[in-house]
Structure formats: C-alpha cells, structure tokens
Structure 1
Amino acid sequence: MKKLYREFSPFFGVLLLSALMACNGRGKRPETVSAIDLKRGRMILCGPPDKQLGTVGFKTSCSGKAQEDFNLAIALLHSFEYDEAEKVFAKVIDEAPECAMAYWGVAMCNYHPLWNPSTPAELEKGAKAAAIAMSLEKKSQRESAYIAAIASFYNAWDRTDHATRSRRFEKAMEKIYTAYPGDKEAAIFYALALNGAADPVDTAFTRQRKAGRILTALYPNEPYHPGIVHYIIHSYDYPELAALALPAARAYASVAPSSAHAQHMPSHIFIRLGLWDEAIQSNLAATAAAKCYAESAGIKGHWDEELHGMDYLVYACLQKGENRQAKAQCRYLETISEVYPENFKVAYAFAAIPARYLLENRLWKEAAALKVYPPHFPWQAYPWQRSIIHFTRLLGLVNTGNINAAKAELKTLVRLHDTLVKQNDPYKAGQVQIQVKTAEAWILFKEGRDSEALALMSAAADMEDHTPKHPVTPGEVLPARELLGDMLLQMNKPTEALHAYEASLQQRPNRFNGLYGAGLAAERRHDPGKARRYYQQLASMASGADRPELKAASSFLKRHFP
C-alpha cells in the first residue's frame, strides 16, 4: 500500500483510500490505517505529574474510554502539542477503530494554522486521515460536517497554496458554527480558522477581531478551556489589541501547565505591553519545559519550541538592560547545531537572537562581522530570516564607516527581496523591503545626503507602521521609527526625534532604546521635565542594569533634579 501511495498523486490517493474504506465494513480496524504512519508511543509532557492541560468536553459518537482519551487529545491539540495529540488520537483509533472523529483529529494535528505551513508529508498524512474519516459510516451529521471541513483544507493540497486552503477551512467552519450555535468547540475551532486565514497585511485585523469576540464571549463560562485562552492571545497579538488579551495571558500557563507552549504563549502579550518581568519568567519556564521535552522524547538536538522561547527571552532581557542574561543565551545558542524540526521559527531564532543583542547594544563592529550560524542550516529556504543577518551586518558597516561593504550587503538584501517576490510571498517581501529602505537611508545619511536619507527612513517607518507583526516574532530587530529617531538626533533635530521616539513607544511600550532616545531628545531640546519622565521610567524599568545609557540618564537626573 505504501508503494501505491508513492506512485499516485496525493489527490488520487485520497480517492483510493475512500474507495477502499467504503468496502471495509463497519466497526473494523480500517486496512488503510498503516498507510498513515501515525505517531505512537507514550505521551510525553513536562509539568505537573497529573498532566494538567485544561478542561475540554467535545462530545462524539465514540464512547467510554475512547471518549475520555479523545478529550485529552483535543486538550493537547488546543495547546498546539501536535505530536502528543496525534499519539492520543492514534490510541483512540486502536480503542475504537470505527471512531471517525479520531481520524479527523489526526488530520487536525497536521494542520498548523499559525506557525510554519504544513510540510508535504504532513499534508499527505492529513489528507489520508480525512479520507478515512469521510469513508466511515458511524458518525453523526455534525461529525460529518467537521470532517468535511478539514477535508476541504487538504483537498488538492499539492496544487493549492496554503492561504487558499486556509480560507476554505474558515468558510467550512463558519457553516458549522452557524448550524450548531450551542457547540462551543465549533465556535473555538472557527475562531482558530479565522486566525489561520487572517490576511497578514490587514491592519484592521478583521478576522482576528471577530475571533476575539467569539472567544471572549465564551471565556466567562469556560475559564479553564485551553483553546479559548490560547486563541484569545493569538487573536490579539498586536500592539493595538494586546491589552484585550491580558487576562487570558495571565491565565493560560496555569490552565495548561503541562504544555510547554502554554508556558510561552502568554509572553506574546506581555511583550506587546512592555511587561518584561512577566515575559522573562514566562520564557524561562517555557524553555525549561522544552528542554525537558526534548530529553524525554529522545530528540536528537533541541526542540524548536526551545529556540522560539529563547528569542522572546532575549528580547525581554534586552529591554531591561539585562545584558548578562541575554549574552548567556547568545552563547548557549552557539552550542546548538541540531534542532527538530528545522522550520520557519527556528530559522528566525537563529538569525534574530544574535542580531538583537548586537543591534540593541549598538555593538557596530561586532554587528558588521556577524556570521551565519549554523552554517549547515538550509538558509536558502528562508530568505526573510537570512535577510536579518545581512541587515545587521549592513548597519554595523554603516556605523563603522565601511560604506562600500555596506552597499554590497544592500545588494544581497535586494536579491533576497526579489526572491520573496518571485515566491509570491508579499508579506515577507514587504518585511525585507523595509530593511532595504532603512539600509539605503543610512547609507545616504553617512554620505551626507540628509534630505534623501530622511525621506527614505520616514518611508520605511511608515511602511512598518502599516505592516502587522508576524506571530513568530516578538518584534523587529530594531524598529524603523526608532531608527528614524536615531537619525534625527544625529542630524541635531531633537524635536523631530522626540516625536519619532514617542510614536514608536506608542506601538512598542517600554523599549529600552525608545525610552532612552526620548529622554535624550527631550534633554537636547531643553525640556527637562519630559527628559526626567523618560529617564526615570528607564531607570525604574532597568534598575540594576549596567549600560552606559543608564549612567548618562542618572547623571542628568542628579544634575537637574538632585
């Protein structure tokens, strides 16, 4: 059977599975289950020994122990513990092979709406599982609708892009949500589908707001449901909306303490709101849980969730001026060469973590010499992430006076941008375009062409302001509007610089360099009251840190406000 699937197209494979299953009879283990290559084995979690994952009640035609295990699998699925959820769905299949919704669950485990799109192998597995689910007779009309919805995502997966398939799933889940108004799981999975189909350039956050409204209406009566609190965070993971998710963020880790992702996810909101201490604690717990999971699961190397948490941890540490802890994470990253799985967020962490440390601390010489690490990683598959390394080098070269070398890095950035355009990925192409404009602006500035530099830097900042943050990142390696403030300060335009810093802080509250820049600009425009406010806020936020900016702020406060 495995050989047959390699020889035929995925679409034909789904039809073949459906035909075979239709002849298989009722209540028997489907002969085609072995073709799915289900993940199996003991469930691995790092957290409380009683496996606390929240409270879920998803009624199905499965009965007895199978229903209990099904709910456990759903709880894991809602916290994006995909591998462990699939193991439990496989157990349900062993217990009740006629349970169509268990195969639906496997298909859902291979649908990754908010991270890296599913791989071809995952898409093929999901399509096969959905086909078996569709072929089984013992299912209700409601269950058939759920199965048809996920099948619509996998239909013609080899010929249809991820965004199109995500919109199909959204529309199918909307029909279930409308047809079964009392089904809270339909509402929750519809909210997830809305977030998965959200347009990355929609600054009105149309789908995200709708998802948030659905979930927040459910939350008071279901405070321990992992999907509700989790997806509220994803729905509002944007500067303009983040405050709406703070109650859910502060609850999620205690709702599902056995999930490594549940430990990390609240930090998305903490970082949006500049709550650095909470973000640090969240990611210390998350990275520890991720290490534990990798060891327990026998992963060769490190689990991708660990690197994702490290990126957020370093970002938060840098905003408190905690260079020692941030540097320790950078050194630790240099010891990591193998990660499972190699994916989008791993590439981002490898590029962003060292870049953040160097750029936030204005270590221009070291930034100019930043190396690609690890060298054997498939960087060609990740042009946006690779661009972060070249952007960091360029800023380092510009600020150390090596303009010719900076122009060579600019050519690389342009090439990476063009690659993303050819790949029809407008969001990531836009991200690199912001870097290109910023790079061109700083080269022009160092060449003495101030008016042209300001025009380009302002355009980059405007573009970034109208580009929503990607869910994988805690924030840009350096915000464009903050860099505009830096440029204006160097041009001796403190009033305009102050406006730029303040505008950046509106979107990114409590950033270390934003606060220091605003205080310095206020000081230079002879506004001691406003300078005092920003410097005191900085000193309070980063008390005990050892950075030269803090010493300068302290000196000003002692001179003017003894």
Structure 2
Amino acid sequence: MSSRPANALLATLFFTVVTQAQTTDFSRIGTYEFPTSTTDAAAQEAFLAGVGFLHSFGMTQAQEAFRAAQQRDPDFVMAYWGEAFTYQHPFFGALSEGPGQALMKLAPTAALRAAKAKNDKERGFLRAAEAYALTPGGMPERRIAWMNAMKAVFEQYPEDYEVKAFYTASLLAAAGHSGDNRERMNMYAGSLALELFKDNDNHPGAAHYVIHAFDDPLHAPIALEAAQKYRDIAPAVSHARHMPSHIFIQHGMWEEVSTWNESAWQAARDLWQPGDRVGDQNHSGDWGQYGDLQLGSIDRSELWIERAEQTLRENPGDSRSSTTLKTMRARHVIETQQWQITELSDELSADELLALGLSAAHLGDLELVKRTINRINSLASDSPGNAGLRIILAEVTALLKAKQAEELLLEGLTTDGLPTQREALALLTEAIALREAGRLPNGAASPLKPIHELAGEINLAFGFASDAVALFETSLQRLPNRPLSLLGAARAHAAAGNSDRANELYAKLLTIRHDEAHPFVREARQFVAIK
C-alpha cells in the first residue's frame, strides 16, 4: 500500500484516538502517496496516517500512528524516522531529547540504524532525522543540519513528492536561523510548495507549507487559495484548521479568523486528554480572541479568556498556558480600550505592563505610568537584544510624554509643552524604525498596540493630521482592515480635509463593526450619512 486516500483510517489502530473525540471528524487528513519498504500492510497504513498528521503538525496523533507502525514492524525504519519529528514544532519548538530517543529505539548507533534501511532513499530520510535529532548544539544547528541533509535527498530524488515536501519543511525550519537569507529561503520553499499544490491540491503539506512561506502582508495573496483549500483538507488536525487564519489575518478577514480558530480550538479540545500537550488550545485561543476583538465581540473575547483560564487550571505550571492567558487579558484591555488599573508587580509580563502603562496614562495616573516604565526599562536592560521590550518601553514612555505635553500646553497658554511633545515624537520615530527593521507582521498584532497605530493616534492628538494620515495608512498596509487603524485613518483624513478618503475608511469600518451601541460605529455612520 503506497497511497493515503482522504477517508482511509485503520479503526483498529486509531480507535482510542477517535473515541476520545465525539464531536470532531478525525478521518480526513489529505491525499498523498509515500511508498516504503515495509511488507506489513497494517504498518504501512499506520505510517501513512502518521505522515498525514505530521504534515499538518498534529504531533500527538502522528506519534501514536508511527508507534503503531513500529509495533506491527519493529524494524520499519521510516516509522522511527516519523516519530523523531513529533516531539516539538519543527520550526519554533524548543530543544527536546525525544527525537534522539525515538531513533535509539531502532538501534543505538548510526551504522546499525543504517543497516536496517532497505534502500538509499530511506537511508537518506534516516540521515536527515539523525541530523534533526542528534546534531550537537541547539535547535538552530539541528534545523540547519536537517535542511542540508534533506537537500542531499532532494537532489537525488527531485521528482519524489514526499522528498520535496519534507525538504520544503526543512527549508522553512532553517530559514529562521539564516539571517539575511531568511526571506529568500522562504520564497524558495514557497515555490516548491506551490509546485506540490499545483500537482495535488489535496496534499496537506503542500497547502500548509505555502501558508508558512508566504505569511506576511506582501506575499499573503499568493497563499490565499491554499489557505482556503487547506481548511478543508485535514480537518482531523487542529493545527490544519488554524493555519488558514495566518493568511486570513493578512487580508483582514476577521470572520474567517474567528470561525477557523474556534474550529481549531474545538478540535484540540476534543482530542486532548490529561497529560497531553495543550499548544493547539493555546495557539488557536490566542488568535481566535484577536479575530473576535477586531469584530468588536467583547463577549467572545471574554469567553476565550475563560477557556484559557480553564486550560491553565487543567495544566498547572505550564508556562505557555500562563503566558497565553496573560497576553489575552492584556489584549482585551488594549483592544477594547476599557482601561483598568491593576497592581504593579514584578510578576507582570511585558504584555501586562504595556496594558497597565497605557491604562494608567489614559486614566491620568501618570505616577503609575512612570513606575511602570521603570519596570519595563529594567526588563529591557536585562534583555538588550529584545526589540519587543524596547518598543513597548518607547510606546509607554511616548504616551506619558504626550500626556505631560498636553497638560503643559493647556495649563498656561505657553509653549512649555513643546519640548516634551518633540521628545514623544522622537521616541515614536525610533520605535517605528526598530519595528520596521524586523520581520513584516504575521499573526496577531505584536506588540499588542501596533506602534504605527499608536504614533498615528498621538500625532492626531497633537494636531498633526498629515503625519497621522501617513502613519495610519502604513499601519493598514502592515495590518490590513484593522479597525482601530481604520478609525484612526478616517479621523486623520477628515482632519486633513480628505473627506472622500475618510468616507471610504469609515465605510470600510462599518463592514467590520455593526453594533450601534459602539460609539465608533455611530461616529462612522454619522460621517457616511453626512457625506
């Protein structure tokens, strides 16, 4: 058996997985072929299921499938190869000894493992897994070694679809550690993935890797077709349901971001058992909340927070669950602008400090803003290479100075506030340069308050409408259809006398936000009606 049709699953091998989830369809993972040397049909079928799950990063499901294949055929080299990639996200995951331990089950030395491979292709795959699992150093070294090993296999078998697919995955994994070559490698990986997608648009890896390769505002349109297809290719995997939202976010398609992350969270929840990893619940919840907040759904945002609290209760001590919950609470404050004061402590995360600093500034507690800035500055000093912390520090400090300048200018009808105003603008300019020196945006806004958006708001408050227009328009290029940037841009254009563009932006905002109780919606409707 060499083919994995979309609806074929061995019930005897996956009964336990399927019965864990009564509300999610775990029978569809895509269509592809991956012939191997095993003579055991059940082992091959389990292996093929594992490959499908692996292409969609359904690691728990993939691991169980590959282990089932090993039970059927203990010397099945490719079953151990597959298991080696199920212990962490191949692009971003932390170092783990699991991959090496998986290979050691096959045999304790490279020579003994190679002796069990039945042909050159399988030996090539095995060497690539060893590079990924056993290369000295950290994950950067292992991912680059994996890419180089897969390149050798690809050069020998350039027409083999699965060789091409996993070479593509290795390129995407190594790109993040390749400095100035990162985007070039992403584009090359994307070109290979597009070739696969053109030949088989139901291949889970093809669509998945197209999305990863083109996940930025400039290239996302290339991946829209794959994103729309992928959401239906592998609904058995939570990550596959989530991944299209990478491209939907880049297009400002907020309904789709909300819908597909809800679906992804439900799949992850249905599959989860105590002791399992909860990354898929955290990730889909994080992005789902962001999508719902863009739609103005406060109730849905609060639901996502409640779910995150439940995940943390069920997984006490899990650092990612804790971090996700902190981020979601801070994002809720910032996006809804329901400013609130909390106690300043050393336990607050950078996201929480940003929310506290912005809240204190908007509520007029400038002394608390200063103390919050001191704490952020301490964190930034401890991590001088962390650009995100430096941007957050600049954001809160700039808003403080803007508030101080406003007070000075209002108090005495003098120009005493102008130097402080200039300091605020200088800080924003530096932070913008720092943000633009990094990667283009992908995913939910980072930092939680986009720097171009905040700079636009401060410039508009200062009366610099033309400068605000440029900043908000840049924000919309980087974060399309983001409502707070649409609102700010509409206000700035109106202030600058550009009523046609303001009307266009207010009208666009009304396609996203519909609640008449929201003052932004009433403001937009009034402007459009007058226009």
TM-score, length basis structure 1: 0.82
What residue number does 2:425 align with?
A: 454
Contact 1:321 1:546 in 2 (8 A): no
- Distance across 1 between alignment mates of 2:106 and 2:361: 54
What residue number does 2:528 align with?
A: 557
Contact 1:130 1:150 in 2 (8 A): no
Which letter maps to 1:42?
T
Which letter maps to 1:442?
L
After superposition, residues 418-437 of structure 1 pair within 5 angstroms as 418-421=381-384, 426=385, 429-437=386-394
What residue number does 2:82 align with?
A: 105
Which letter maps to 2:401?
L
Distance 1:357 1:281, change over 3 A: same
What residue number does 2:351 align with?
A: 388
After superposition, residues 300-319 of structure 1 pair within 5 angstroms as 303-319=278-294
Unaligned runs of 5+ in 2: 1-12, 406-419
- Distance across 1 between alignment mates of 2:180 and 2:516: 38
Distance 1:433 1:203, change over 3 A: farther
- Distance across 2 between alignment mates of 1:178 and 1:537: 49
What residue number does 1:398 align with?
A: 361
- Distance across 2 between alignment mates of 1:492 and 1:540: 28
- Distance across 1 between alignment mates of 2:224 and 2:349: 33
What residue number does 2:129 align with?
A: 150
What residue number does 2:303 align with?
A: 328
Shift of 1:520: 0.8
Distance 1:466 1:545, change over 3 A: farther
- Distance across 2 between alignment mates of 1:83 and 1:464: 36
What residue number does 1:241 align with?
A: 219
Distance 1:57 1:474, change over 3 A: farther
- Distance across 2 between alignment mates of 1:269 and 1:59: 32
Distance 1:132 1:499, change over 3 A: same
What residue number does 2:414 align with?
A: none
Distance 1:204 1:70, change over 3 A: closer
Contact 1:308 1:345 in 2 (8 A): no
Q: Which of the numbers 52, 62, 77 marks the counterpart of 2:54?
A: 77
Contact 2:334 2:448 in 1 (8 A): yes
What residue number does 1:35 align with?
A: none
- Distance across 2 between alignment mates of 1:343 and 1:40: 28
Distance 1:547 1:132, change over 3 A: farther
Distance 1:343 1:132, change over 3 A: farther
Distance 1:131 1:505, change over 3 A: farther
Unaligned runs of 5+ in 1: 1-38, 373-378
Contact 2:215 2:442 in 1 (8 A): yes
Q: Which of the numbers 14, 26, 42 marks the counterpart of 2:16?
A: 42
Contact 1:53 1:257 in 2 (8 A): yes
- SS of 2:16's partner is coil
Shift of 1:339: 5.1
Contact 1:100 1:133 in 2 (8 A): no
Shift of 1:370: 7.3
Shift of 1:276: 0.8
Which letter maps to 1:153?
Y
Matched, 1:174 2:148: no
What residue number does 2:186 align with?
A: 208
Contact 2:376 2:389 in 1 (8 A): yes
Contact 1:270 1:276 in 2 (8 A): yes
Which letter maps to 2:454?
L
Shift of 1:347: 4.5
Contact 1:267 1:279 in 2 (8 A): yes
- Distance across 1 between alignment mates of 2:307 and 2:88: 32
Shift of 1:322: 2.1
What residue number does 1:291 align with?
A: 269
Contact 2:75 2:106 in 1 (8 A): no
- Distance across 2 between alignment mates of 1:132 and 1:474: 46
Shift of 1:210: 0.9
Distance 1:508 1:260, change over 3 A: same
Shift of 1:271: 0.8
Distance 1:478 1:210, change over 3 A: same
Matched, 1:537 2:500: no
- SS of 2:17's partner is coil
What residue number does 1:96 align with?
A: 73
Shift of 1:190: 1.3
What residue number does 1:357 align with?
A: 332
Distance 1:470 1:91, change over 3 A: farther
Shift of 1:500: 0.5
Q: Percent identity?
A: 25
Matched length? 498
